[in-house]
Chain A
Amino acid sequence: MSAVRFHQVSKQYGDTVAVREVSFDIPPGTLVTLLGPSGCGKTTTLRMLAGLELPTSGSILIAGKDVTRLAAHERDVAMVFQSYALFPHLRVVDNVRYGLDVLGRDGAEAKAGAALKTVGLAGLESRWPNELSGGQQQRVALARALVLEPKVLLFDEPLSNLDARLRRRMREEIRELQQRLGFTAVYVTHDQDEALSISDRIIVMDKSVVVQEGTPRELYETPKTRFVADFMGESNIVEAQVKSGRIELGKLSLPTTRADGPVQLAIRPHAIQLAPGNDATVQRATYLGDHLEYDVESPLGRLFVVSHALSAPLKAGDKVSVTLQPEAGGVVIL
């Protein structure tokens, strides 16, 4: 039985459709990410799961139970908010035990202490939220949600208020915690790195609909649409022709089952190799410490290239030749 099931769920505000006929299943014990650009409907989807918004149509099941018309507090979920939403008038421990107190559960003090220990904040029980750093506040928010042992834990862009370094550490911690405790989690983000690194599965949304669903690897290596290819890491989109079962593109020749005619290819920036030559020109070169980025004007069009050949940097104006390496999702037929 799925931990979460969305069936044909739509949400309309007046004439605008925020979410259109979204369906998916989330197996228990997995971390699933809703990924997409801002305004794609991912947060609305999460909020409908939390019970903070009610769907216009469709049904939502949590652990097999229809919760579509239930209010937020009647559902067995807990949510970690982007702004953490710690209650500023309550101390850390009282924030964590809030849910237990509301529900009248026993042993709130001990459970809250244990939850704080789980997230590595033992000893900070009597602090006020504004005495904590951003990362610590995030952990309190996590502990507050964990302590209820909900069927599903929801994360609404939980790391977007943290700096880059802390963001990386926190996402590893969340993933590690999820694997250790085995809870089901639904995670909303617009950051594809974050999605790739923590998810069991990713659901990509765009313009109110689900465009593709799969493991991180499937989405990266076999995107079905130009949007997914572009959103899951950068891609160069190139037009090509299919002739009798092969795609011919410069020196590259790929087998395909497509019928003859025009086709689009997505080429990853790291799948392009530059060598001295004279069929293309470097337009712009950027040094980024561990790698180099180039804009190259080539017969295939303008290409964005990532190179790790730090010892042989190119500069703007250099003449080069372009080679494609099709393995490991480097070149994808859309």
Chain B
Amino acid sequence: MWILSGLAAFCVVPWYAIEDGFFSFDWRYGFPLAAEGAPAPLQALFHGKTWLLPLAAPFVAALAVSFRPRGETLRARVLVTAGLLGLVYGLAQGFAIGPLSAGPHQVGMGWGALIVHASLLLITAEGLSTWAFSRPDPFVAGALVSIAALVLLFVVYPMGIISLRAFETDTGEYSALVFLRNFTSARLWHVTFNTVLLGALAAFGSTALGLTLALSVARSPKKWTGAFRLFSVLPIITPPFVIGMALIVAFGRAGAITHALHLDGSSYIYGLPGVLLSQLLAFSPVAFLVLVDALAGISPSMEEAAQTLRASPWLTFRTVTLPLLKPALANAFLVGFIESLADFGNPLVLGGSGFEVLAVEAYRAVTGAQADIPRAGAVGLVLLALTGVVFVAQQRFVGQAGYTTVTGKGDSGLPLPLPRALDRLTLSLSAGWTVFTLFIYALVLTGGFVKALGKDNSPTLEHFTALFGRGGGAWSSLFTTVGLSLIAAPLTAVFALLTAWLLARQDFRGKRSFEFSTMLAFAVPGTVVGIAYLLAFNTPPFDLIGTGAVLVLSFVFRNMPVGIRSGLAALSQLDKSLDEASLTLGASTSGTVRRVVFPLLKPTVAVALVYGFVRAMTAVSAVIFLVSAEHNLSTTYILAQVESGQYGRAIAYSCVLIVAMLLAIVGVQLAFGRRNIGRRALA
């Protein structure tokens, strides 16, 4: 089947990318003869692109063996060889003959090339499934090879490019000197120091605050602590720099609080304190979510055991509960640190000139007067290295030990109430922090509806009319953002859950490195991803910059890892014998995934969809490098408002975004509902 689709695409679908964008269908006007829209054979015949013709060969070879019985070694070998050779040739010609080559030249690949290469990939997979895999299953092989290829192309390849470009000289050659010059500059080290300091403080602070909140919610008997849980979702649907902006509105030189305190003109909020505060507000809910689940996962009988062994509540907390939380604490710290490294909006808004961090530095290197790509590359490499160090440290610290396992067995014990002093401390801290957070959010909301918060508090809708009224420029960015997010969310969910399923349920060689490379895009700060995409995909054969496709791709591969993690967690709670029962009852692997696995993962699908959507809507650090005039996004639009001091408009637009995301979340919840049957039935 792949053979025929590939051959058809080769013969009929336009080979090259169309100027008007990847999703444009304007090529029908010149089809099939014009240079723009012609498929490969006609390109060869009429436009001298003869080097495309050999790509038909692998399909012919594959066709020749396709009628032989499945499972035959000869057939498998021919398929693998033909597929691989085709891919290698296809990519080689793409790279070798660029738009600026002397003599023949070509532009980036389009739909025809895409389908041809995808088909070659699947032909290879079909062959591999009977040859190299322990289990002859074309579905598994196809899914695995496709995802691996996509990850290679959109995660590993751009990372390789960014590393390479850090060594490039002005004349396009590569030299270690360039890297050394950038790498040894005092400024870079100063900025790196700032970044690490901020990251450590933010990670430590958000973990501590997250723990406080988690303890209040999970262990305090007070009913109203449930409210903490609700508010913890707020920051997740908030565009990343909105909190920074709110802080400016409240505490800035002309902020409401500053004014009330008669400190006008003072800039105490700018620099480290402000950035740190905004990051704490943004990241502690994430730490909270990590820790509250871990706390709930600690079997109460362990704490009860400690108590029957004569440990006081305080001693139990110190010697049992906290050590059991260690992996989760390390995880929360890691997430906080990486988020802080990657955070771009808050430092840009609040850092001022005195406090630069790497993410902003990279942005300035690219957008500055002389676009200094090698410098951006070097900054990206430093960020990458920092992330790697923390990642390795966390792995070392936590090791393979996951203590908090939820078994199917009923655990009837009661969680231990906190020692009284600790209980009071966590409750009052949590309450204080919650009130502060709510205050900031209230500020954001009112800021959109008054003339200039703090100075002129008369209510107005002028910010909204300026954005969305006649001549307002915000509609197009809003539509683009929602549209692209709607495309990205289901793709993210499907890829993530399929990957999780492959990791959880299938055995294959190279599983570890496969898993690692899918996680890479998450560990890499968004800024680096943005730069890497900019460098990797702005020239043929992958000429994607300026299209909506590159934005969707960056969303999908940035947000996939979280979906993978939640998919893995959900699958580990799903009895493997359910899959096996379906298989022994005659369902194929793909049928099993469709009929049993996905229906049972419905809540996870919903989570992955919501997450994919929300993250796409609020993304800024990566997309700031990738947006174009045609595809401007809400977040970059808001950022532009902030940079020109239009806080009211920025806030108003943020409100609209938040409402849009809430609508989407409610919509997904309605569409997917709850899984109608509890897992307990199986125990």
Contacts and interface: CB of A to CB of B under 8 A. Distances in A.
B592 to A, nearest CB: 8
B678 interface: yes
Given A72-B583, A102-B582, A129-B682, 4 more contacts: A77-B584, A85-B577, A88-B677, A99-B585
A69 B585 contact: no
Given A54-B135, A81-B577, A88 B584 contact: no
5 contacts: A71-B583, A77-B584, A85-B581, A130-B681, A137-B681
B137 interface: yes
B583 A52 contact: yes
A130 B677 contact: yes
Interface string A44-75: 00000011101000000000000001011101
Contacts of B681: 86, 88, 128-131, 137
Contacts of B678: 88, 130
B575 A83 contact: yes
Interface string A78-118: 11011111111100000000110011000000000000000
A85 B679 CA distance: 11
Contact of A71 (B136, B582, B599, B679): B136
Nearest to B592: A73
B137 to A, nearest CB: 6
B584 A73 contact: yes
Contacts of A148: 585-586
> A89, A129, A131 — which one has the most chain B CB atoms within 10 A of its CB?
A89
A78 B577 contact: no
B238 to A, nearest CB: 35
Given A86-B682, A87-B596, A102-B586, A52 B580 contact: yes
Interface residues of A, number: 35
B13 to A, nearest CB: 34
Interface residues of B, number: 31
B125 to A, nearest CB: 16
Contacts of B679: 88
A209 to B, nearest CB: 23
B595 A102 contact: yes
Nearest to B584: A79
B407 interface: no
B418 interface: no
A71 B581 contact: no
A81 B600 CA distance: 18
B580 A79 contact: yes
A85 B586 contact: no
A144 interface: yes
A154 B584 contact: yes
A71 B596 CA distance: 18
A130 B581 contact: no
Contacts of A52: 580, 583-584
Interface string B646-683: 00000000000000000000000000000111111110
B301 to A, nearest CB: 21
B585 to A, nearest CB: 4
B595 A71 contact: no
Interface string A110-144: 00000000000000000011110000010001001
A83 B135 CA distance: 24
A23 B682 CA distance: 34
A77 B596 CA distance: 19
Nearest to A147: B585
Contacts of B582: 87, 98, 102
Interface string A167-185: 0000000000000000000
Ranked 8 nearest A-B pairs via Cβ: A130-B681, A99-B585, A85-B581, A72-B583, A85-B577, A88-B677, A79-B584, A81-B577
B682 A71 contact: no
A115 to B, nearest CB: 13
> B134, B583, B588 — which one has the most chain A CB atoms within 10 A of its CB?
B583
Interface in A230-249: none
Contact of A85 (B580, B588, B599): B580
Contacts of B581: 79, 81, 85-87, 141, 144
Given A79-B580, A102-B595, A54 B682 contact: no
Given A73-B588, A78-B585, A87 B580 contact: no
A266 B317 CA distance: 55
B273 interface: no
B591 interface: yes
A89 B677 contact: yes
B71 interface: yes
